[in-house]
Structure 1
Amino acid sequence: MRRAPLGIAVFASGNGSNFQAIADAVKEGRLDARIELLVCDRPKAKVVERAEAAGIPVFAFNPKEYASREAYEREILQQLQLRNVDLVVLAGYMRIITKVLVDAYWGRMINIHPSLLPSFPGLDAVGQALRHGVKVTGVTVHLVDGGLDSGPILAQRAIDVQPGDTEASITERIHQIEHRLYPEVIQGICDGSIHLEQAADHKPKDGITP
């Protein structure tokens, strides 16, 4: 029996190129999922325009209008539950995630990060890699466990750092990898070739900055 398409919510804060890559993969039939919702903490971000153009529902909010992170996450959680979201996909969402969402979606929330974790977690990963003089960097998709890019790794893809590379040139190549890798990993979750239950078999932590 064919599985029903996986219902996903994508969280993003900015341009939304990874969101677009996921939406394109769904539209082209390469990804057996439905994007049920875009969650964005910047109502005027480009990613909101992308979602609206694709006919995807948007929950855009201003964090300053809430008393706490937990307060707006409780409202986000209501939106996710209302749409029966199976998987939360963080794609450039630049907010700390609290236990409200981590616990509710434990083992069902993933993130993409522009380094070969555990090296260079947190912000400015490409800049960190350049400053350390590494010869290889890349992209990691991992489960969110509430720590700083510390969850179990689901997939990685490496690139060589070339002489004369800049942060901009590496970032461009990393984006190209992200746009292929993230839909592939989500499809692996959809078809069962990636088992989140096994990866999630450890204790959640307190909060994450994707």
Structure 2
Amino acid sequence: MRADAGGDAAPGSHKVKVAVLISGSGTNMAALLHASRLPGAAYEIVLVASNDPDAPGLRFADGEDVPTFALSHCGQERAAHDAAMAATIERSGAELVVLAGYMRILTEAFVERFPGRLINIHPSLLPKYRGLHTHERALAAGDSEAGVSVHLVTAELDAGEILGCLKVRILPEDTADSLAARVLIAEHQLYPHVVNRLAARMRSGMADKG
């Protein structure tokens, strides 16, 4: 796996450097990567990192010539694992850290290393249904709609500022699996939009300081 970061953008065309953390197939990461290559995109992905060396998303990123890093959390203390991941992210030059199916609860020390620059996507309309089993809980409650939210990550689980959300109607015949499949489509639409908007805002702030 590559561990080098891409080169700097030309003067005046700076793109915000993004690190994406995954644990599995990386479909949201793939959506983010493809969107980053569209005309006018404000960000570029400089690292895909995972706590699972066998995560299929790493193979996808390697195939797209995106630098990757993997470090299994098995047999490691959470604080030590988080510290190693954070150090790798910092070496990549990433200015924004995006969680995309990263199935680890981060330590407070990790979150504090990226204040206001760490975001997550969650398959519910927050503040409803923080944590796991969101689709089952929405169906059990008899909700008429579910959805997805992008939020800043804080020390409290799924409690940071909401940056964007997208609703998905719940159909009478829905199961947790069928609902999850449609919510995932919404995730692939919403996440690149929010990341690009945030990156554009960050780029504008950097230009103002310059």
TM-score (norm 2): 0.87
Amino acid at match of 1:75: A
SS in 1 for 2:74: helix
Look up the match of 1:190. 199
Look up the match of 1:78. 87
| 1:28 Cα deviation after fit | 2.8
| 1:3 Cα deviation after fit | 5.2
Which whole-Å CA distance do the structure 2 matches of 1:32 and 1:11 have between them? 19
Asked if structure 1 preserves the Cα contact closer than 8 Å seen for 2:121 and 2:148, the reply is yes
* CA displacement 1:130-175 (0-9 Å, x = unmatched): 1111111111000001111011111111111111111122111111
Look up the match of 2:145. 136
Structure 1 counterpart of 2:63, from 53, 61, 83: 53
Amino acid at match of 2:157: L
SS in 2 for 1:189: helix
Structure 2 counterpart of 1:89, from 92, 98, 117: 98
Look up the match of 2:5. none
Structure 2 counterpart of 1:102, from 101, 106, 111: 111
* CA displacement 1:31-62 (0-9 Å, x = unmatched): 32121111111111111111111111111111
| 1:29 Cα deviation after fit | 3.2
Which whole-Å CA distance do the structure 1 matches of 2:156 and 2:47 have between them? 24
TM-score (norm 1): 0.87
Which whole-Å CA distance do the structure 2 matches of 1:172 and 1:81 have between them? 34
Larger CA deviation: 23-32 vs 138-147: 23-32
Cα gap change, 1:146 to 1:123, in 2 (>3 Å): same
Structure 2 counterpart of 1:20, from 30, 36, 43: 30
Q: RMSD value over aligned CA atoms?
A: 1.9
Asked if structure 1 preserves the Cα contact closer than 8 Å seen for 2:16 and 2:202, the reply is no
Which whole-Å CA distance do the structure 2 matches of 1:193 and 1:102 have between them? 18
SS in 2 for 1:156: strand
SS in 2 for 1:63: coil
Look up the match of 2:7. none
Asked if structure 2 preserves the Cα contact closer than 8 Å seen for 1:111 and 1:144, the reply is yes
Where structure 1 has 5 or more consecutive residues not aligned to the other structure, the ranges are: 197-210
Structure 2 counterpart of 1:37, from 37, 41, 47: 47
| 1:114 Cα deviation after fit | 0.5
Cα gap change, 1:194 to 1:162, in 2 (>3 Å): farther
| 1:193 Cα deviation after fit | 8.7
SS in 2 for 1:159: strand
| 1:86 Cα deviation after fit | 0.4
Asked if structure 1 preserves the Cα contact closer than 8 Å seen for 2:14 and 2:203, the reply is no
Asked if structure 1 preserves the Cα contact closer than 8 Å seen for 2:42 and 2:203, the reply is no
Look up the match of 2:161. 152
Cα gap change, 1:193 to 1:103, in 2 (>3 Å): closer
| 1:30 Cα deviation after fit | 5.5
Cα gap change, 1:2 to 1:54, in 2 (>3 Å): same
Structure 2 counterpart of 1:5, from 10, 15, 31: 15
Which whole-Å CA distance do the structure 1 matches of 2:45 and 2:103 have between them? 20
Percent sequence identity over matched residues?
35
**Which runs of 4 or more aligned residues in structure 1 lie more than 6 Å from their structure 2 counterparts after TM superposition?**
193-196
Where structure 2 has 5 or more consecutive residues not aligned to the other structure, the ranges are: 1-10, 206-210
